[in-house]
Chain A
Amino acid sequence: MSSFRQGIEAAIPALRRYARALTRDVETADDLVQDTLVRAWGSQHLFHEGNVRSWLYTILTNLNRNRLRSLARRPTLIPFEDDDAPYTAGSEAGGRDIERALALLVEEQRSTLLLVVLEGLSYREIAEVQGVPIGTVMSRLARARAQIKNYLDGERPALRRVK
């Protein structure tokens, strides 16, 4: 049991980072991590083998998906946090652009891209986290990158350069 606990504890900073990038809001992100940890801790008996980290990413990703579905159904009940995203960005214009770009992605594309570049999961691990074939992961990744590129190119046409 103690290596289970250690596994969870070690993952908390990374979970916070992933949640922050997913939601672009500190409080929402930490709520998501807290819910994830509560569920993980209460489900020790359900976790048998495998990667604790992947399992935690799975729980967090699913919780976020449920959260967004609830918000989509009742947008007036709870303020839609995406409106805050541009104002919580860093001071550099580049920081704001990448945040806005992430906010514009469909949820599965966003989570795929973040799990790859921010969390360093392999495509195979991501396929397990998302419960889809690797091919689906690849196409989500490709679309995420293409969307962001189109958005950023649109924002700064002067910098577009073909080598």
Chain B
Amino acid sequence: MIERNSPVTEDELHVHVDGELPADRRESVEAWLATHPEDAARVAAWRAQADAIRARYDDVAKEPVPARLKLDHIMRRGRSWTAIAAAATVAAFMVGGIAGWMARGASTVAPSAFETFTAEALEAYKLYVVEVRHPVEVPGAEQAHLVQWLSKRLNYQLRAPDLDPIGLKLVGGRLLPGPTGPAAFFMYEGPSGERFTLYCGATSAPQTAMRYHGEKQAAAFYWVDRELAYVMSGPADREQLLTVAQRTYDQIETRAPGG
């Protein structure tokens, strides 16, 4: 026979609220609660919390699914760097380690283009972000002129991405010598003074997924899209840099083809 007042564990109180207590414990727990008002009050409070949470959020599951979350849309985007880099990140979660992440970059670019563009971009980043008075040659206030000038020199319709939504303002830009000819250089700055730079140059390398290169003080994401190599450089914080690089990619991707 079951002892009606056998001591009940804390965990069983939670199970009582959340799931099925084994039949042989149900009576004991209910008897316990009948004789222990403080525990009964806690259990009642937990039930009320659960009810309130469900009342507040259950209906979200009944909303129509927005277009961008439909699998067809996800699958289409899956052909871009997003899914390739994303899959690599999952691999890193599961396998562990940055080696796994790099190895799954699925890039078909010859190593030298990645290395040379990234090296040049990081040198430029480190050289100019420390400048207080002369970080750029043409300020962000003259953005249209800056973009027109650099586009002309690169013979390619460029676009300075709008990073305002993530708190980054365009400081300005300059023209630099690059590994394949002229390179465009844009600098962005956040409210606390953290700086990011976008370095672009023509390339014949094929389209790639994003590739990461991290140093002690700085890091970069590199990718190729439609005959232009891009390097987004910033402080050595991969998550944050990936966010900035993603926004940049999205911005550039939405420009009209052929400029």
Interface residues of A (CB under 8 A from B): 5, 8-9, 12-14, 16-17, 20-21, 30, 33-35, 37-43, 46, 59, 62, 66, 69-70, 73-74, 76-79, 89-90, 94-95, 97-99, 101-102, 113-114, 116-118, 122-123, 138, 141-142, 145, 148-149, 152-153, 161-163
Contact = CB atoms under 8 A, between A and B. Distances in A.
- Which size class do B's interface residues fall under? 35 or more
Given A69-B239, A149-B45, A163-B37, A142 B10 contact: yes
B86 interface: yes
Contact of A38 (B38, B46, B77, B94): B77
B204 interface: no
Contacts of A35: 86
A93 B185 CA distance: 52
Nearest 8 interchain pairs by C-beta: A42-B87, A42-B83, A117-B50, A17-B60, A13-B61, A98-B52, A43-B90, A17-B61
A8 B240 contact: no
Interface string B201-236: 000000000000000000000000000000000000
Contacts of B60: 13, 16-17, 20-21
B45 A77 contact: no
Interface string B64-107: 01101101001101100011101101110110000000000000
Nearest to A6: B71
Nearest to B40: A163
Interface of B: 10-11, 14, 18-19, 37-38, 40-42, 44-46, 49-50, 52-58, 60-63, 65-66, 68-69, 71, 74-75, 77-78, 82-84, 86-87, 89-91, 93-94, 166-168, 190-192, 194, 237, 239-240, 243
Contacts of B57: 17, 20-21, 118
Nearest to A19: B60
Contact of A77 (B78, B84, B191): B191
B107 to A, nearest CB: 15
Contacts of B66: 30
A163 B44 contact: yes
Contacts of B240: 70, 73-74, 77
Given A138-B11, A142-B14, A16 B69 contact: yes
A38 B68 contact: no
Nearest to B52: A98
Nearest to B45: A149
A39 B56 CA distance: 28
